[in-house]
Amino acid sequence: MSEDVIKAEGLTKIFNSHLTAVDHIDFSVKRGEIFGFLGPNGAGKTTTINMLITILKPTDGKASVLGFDIARQDYNVRNVIGVVPQEYTADEDLTGVENILLCADLYGIPRNIAKERVIDLLKLVELTDFGDKKVQTFSGGMRRRLELACGLVNRPKVLFLDEPTLGLDVQTRTATWNYIRKLKKEFGMTLFMTTHYLEEADALCDRVAIIDHGKIVVVGAPEELKHGLGGDVITLGIKEEADVSELIQSIEHVKDVKKEDGSYRIKAESGEVTAPLIIEALRRKGHTVTKLSLTEPTLNEVYLEYTGKSMRDAEESREAFASQRMTMRRAHQ
Amino acid sequence: MTESNGNSQSKMHGLWALTNRELKKWYKAPVIFILSIIQPVIWMGLLGKAMNIGAMFSGGTFAIPPQLAQQFSPAQLSLLGGYFAGLQTSILQSAFNTTDYFSFMAVGMISFTALFTTMFSGMSVVWDRRLGFMNKVLSTPVSRAVIIFSKVLSATLRSMFQAGLIILIAIAFGLQFGIGFNPIYVLGVFGIMFLICVGLSSVFIAITIRSTRIETPMAVVNLINLPLMFASNAFFPTKFMPDWLQTIAKVNPLTYTTDAVRQLLIFSTDWTQLALDFTYVGIFAAIAATIGMVLSWRFLSK
């Protein structure tokens, strides 16, 4: 079997013959790595994951998981993958154990084997003491861990996680990352995840594909992507109206200058040395620097570089979406 | 791969797990369970006992006017009294085929339950889709057909349980069995219930599976539920209905279901009619289940 556990070629999904959610994407995921799909709400992340887990048929192109074609060998794919959905799908009226056993039944795992696995899985996600409690008493983090346990019940070779920490607080998010890292380290599992949290992609993923409007704009290791930007980012504002881009550009170490909403985004090697040089040069020309910040590149800078916009706006609408869904869940209870 | 998973998958694996999940939501939630028992009791009490059609013909409602009574001798009067008393039985007998309206109606409740239970259990499909459970199941090796079967099966089992319950409650309230009734006929009741529920729930699931909003199937249910009920013989014999309504009642599978249950429980069984009822409901179930399941299956395999 090849080293590529997941391979997509020209994968495309068009809804209602006009809405292109995923637009001819190519990528491959190597054995044992954590591969992240990073992008804002509506970028096509969930559509991609839904095609890979065989619940949506691609409109065009193809993809395979562990050598099985997602369209023609969907049954084989379903057997070897685990899925942790974005939503809390566990049944609130049932206990943790009952929920995992239900998942086991869906894979046709015999009861005696399933019961042994339940014990292991509860231990893995540290829910042993809560296995017999109804899920409606669980906190958000506990539910997320239960979803993780359910997704692992068939001992998958590849685990798909759709927004694994959506709506979780910072501590719980960090804890969830540790469970995911453990899966990779202890079981050599290949993980495919989507996220719109930049820090999450940075902290967790071996490689990241940035997706925007259904297209992959760049793929690479987070470190590599950040270094590829060519150093630090200096953001600077001046009092005067004049355009000083060319002046800044001429300074040593400065690689690129972009003017955005009255401030300048300057890319420079060793920013801590370059920044004073820029201030000095501007002052000599009679400009007053009103603000300045120096950041080492993050994935947000990478995102900005390739898509021309920040991810924050998208994130806000995402939170609104999540809260709306929570309201709906409560209405149901 | 399958071996190392230790999975033993058949074409139908997961069917019981998914069906039991639905049933657990019902019997493990005491409030819902109790309400589902109380509901038919209330309906039977209201419709069967409040609309006491039999009482209209008995005793006080119908007295011979005094002026008229003077013209008859006591012997003639007692003859006349006996005639009127007989009239009550004979009207009821010819209209309802039984002398007890409560029994007539209580049995109609059984198809009423089939209709309501199957319709509302179809709603769970909408929740499964909204809460992401459906997608999760679709990503497992469970067959698409099994997902739909489990919905149909759980609705059917619930309805059949309620049917049994209604029979018991009706007996407690004074259900009068037909001449020649044999307890084994109750199995026939479950048989016809099974057929009608499989048919109805397949149709409702095909409707609800396309919907991500709970409002849509609710509107559909509200639109067709009661009309379908009253355009049948569940509460009143069709022969007194206007022609156009009789035509609807004649194609309404609920009419045949109700008739079959009556033939089995409270009428002196007409075996030819019963065979016709079973054939009609059987054909309805086969067609509805085929269409409903094919539509659902195609939707899930999109």
Checking if the pLDDT of B7 tops 60, the result is: no
Checking if the pLDDT of A16 tops 70, the result is: yes
Lowest mean pLDDT among A46-55, B90-99, B135-144, B265-274: B90-99
Give the end of a domain, one of A164, A196, A221. Answer: A221
Place of tokens 């044992």: A32
At B209 the pLDDT is 85
Residue A306 lies in a domain: no
Average pLDDT over residues A165-191: 90
Inspect the interface and report whether the beta carbons of A91 and B16 lie closer than 8 Å.
no
At B302 the pLDDT is 66
Residue A100 lies in a domain: yes
Considering the domain architecture, whether residues A244 and A128 belong to the same structural domain is answered as no
Higher pLDDT, B289 or A41: B289
Considering the domain architecture, whether residues A64 and A206 belong to the same structural domain is answered as yes
Considering the domain architecture, whether residues A17 and A136 belong to the same structural domain is answered as yes
pLDDT, tens digit (0-9, with 9 covering 90-100), for B122-131: 788 888 888 8
At B260 the pLDDT is 94
Checking if the pLDDT of B272 tops 90, the result is: yes
Average pLDDT over residues B149-175: 88
At B89 the pLDDT is 74
- Predicted confidence band of residue A162 (pLDDT cuts 50, 70, 90): very high
* Phi, psi angle pair for B209, to nearest 5°: -65, -20
Checking if the pLDDT of B1 tops 50, the result is: no
How far is Cα B5 from Cα A82, in angstroms, rounded to an integer? 12
- Predicted confidence band of residue B56 (pLDDT cuts 50, 70, 90): low
At B227 the pLDDT is 86
Considering the domain architecture, whether residues A269 and A151 belong to the same structural domain is answered as no
- Predicted confidence band of residue B154 (pLDDT cuts 50, 70, 90): very high
A98 neighbourhood in chain B, CB within 8 Å:
24
Mutate to test the interface with A, among B140, B147, B300 (most CBs of A within 10 A): B140
Inspect the interface and report whether the beta carbons of B140 and A85 lie closer than 8 Å.
no
Considering the domain architecture, whether residues A258 and A129 belong to the same structural domain is answered as no
Considering the domain architecture, whether residues A121 and A259 belong to the same structural domain is answered as no
At A1 the pLDDT is 46
- Predicted confidence band of residue B18 (pLDDT cuts 50, 70, 90): very high
User: Among residues B293, B286, B292, B280, which one has the least CA distance to residue B252?
Assistant: B280
Checking if the pLDDT of A114 tops 70, the result is: yes
Checking if the pLDDT of A81 tops 80, the result is: yes
CATH number for A29: 3.40.50.300
At B64 the pLDDT is 67
CATH number for A271: 3.30.70.100
Q: Looking at this predicted complex, what is its ipTM?
A: 0.79
CB-nearest partner of A83 from B8, B28, B136: B136
How far is Cα B94 from Cα B79, in angstroms, rounded to an integer? 22
Considering the domain architecture, whether residues A212 and A253 belong to the same structural domain is answered as no
Higher pLDDT, A324 or A152: A152
At B273 the pLDDT is 93
Written as six digits, the tokens of B74 are: 């006591």
Nearest CA in chain B to A333: B127
Residue A81 lies in a domain: yes
- Predicted confidence band of residue B3 (pLDDT cuts 50, 70, 90): very low
* Total number of domains in chain A: 2
Residue A329 lies in a domain: no
Residue A308 lies in a domain: no
State the alpha helices, DSSP H only, in chain B: 2-5, 15-27, 30-43, 66-70, 74-96, 101-121, 123-130, 133-138, 144-172, 185-208, 215-230, 243-251, 253-265, 271-300
How far is Cα A286 from Cα A240, in angstroms, rounded to an integer? 9
Considering the domain architecture, whether residues A248 and A159 belong to the same structural domain is answered as no
Q: Are A259 and A245 in contact (CB under 8 A)?
A: yes
Average pLDDT over residues A262-272: 83
At A207 the pLDDT is 96
Give me the torsion for CA of B240, B246, B249, B251, rounded to 10°: 150
Mean pLDDT of chain A: 87
Taking the CB of residue B73, how many other CB atoms lie within 10 A of it?
8
Sign of CA dihedral B2, B7, B12, B13: negative
Residue A192 lies in a domain: yes
pLDDT, tens digit (0-9, with 9 covering 90-100), for B110-119: 888 888 888 8
**Residue span of the structural domain in which A30 resides:** 4-221
Considering the domain architecture, whether residues A191 and A285 belong to the same structural domain is answered as no
Inspect the interface and report whether the beta carbons of B2 and A89 lie closer than 8 Å.
no
Average pLDDT over residues B143-161: 90
Q: Are A154 and A77 in contact (CB under 8 A)?
A: no
Q: pLDDT exceeding 70 applies to what percent of chain B?
A: 91
A55 neighbourhood in chain B, CB within 8 Å:
135, 138-139
Please state whether beta strands A34-38 and A190-195 pair in parallel, antiparallel, or not at all (unpaired): parallel
Q: Is B42 helix (H, G, I), strand (E, B) or coil?
A: helix
Q: Where are the domains of chain B?
A: 14-50+99-300, 52-96
Class of residue B153 by CB neighbours under 10 A (exposed 0-12, middle 13-18, buried 19+): buried
Considering the domain architecture, whether residues A266 and A206 belong to the same structural domain is answered as no
Distances (CA, A) of A52 to A7, A31, A158: 10, 16, 11
Nearest CA in chain A to B128: A89
Q: How many CA atoms lie within 13 A of A14 on its CB side?
A: 9
How far is Cα A58 from Cα A23, in angstroms, rounded to an integer? 10
CB-nearest partner of A79 from B29, B138, B141: B141
Class of residue B187 by CB neighbours under 10 A (exposed 0-12, middle 13-18, buried 19+): exposed
Average pLDDT over residues A136-142: 91
Taking the CB of residue A131, how many other CB atoms lie within 10 A of it?
19
Q: How far apart are the first and last CA of chain B?
A: 26
CB-nearest partner of A107 from B5, B21, B135: B5
Give the end of a domain, one of A191, A221, A251. Answer: A221
Average pLDDT over residues B220-244: 85
B127 neighbourhood in chain A, CB within 8 Å:
332
Considering the domain architecture, whether residues A19 and A139 belong to the same structural domain is answered as yes
How far is Cα B279 from Cα B253, in angstroms, rounded to an integer? 11
Average pLDDT over residues B155-174: 87
Checking if the pLDDT of A168 tops 90, the result is: no
Considering the domain architecture, whether residues A65 and A143 belong to the same structural domain is answered as yes
Give the end of a domain, one of A187, A221, A255. Answer: A221
At A66 the pLDDT is 95
How far is Cα A300 from Cα A65, in angstroms, rounded to an integer? 30
Average pLDDT over residues B18-26: 87
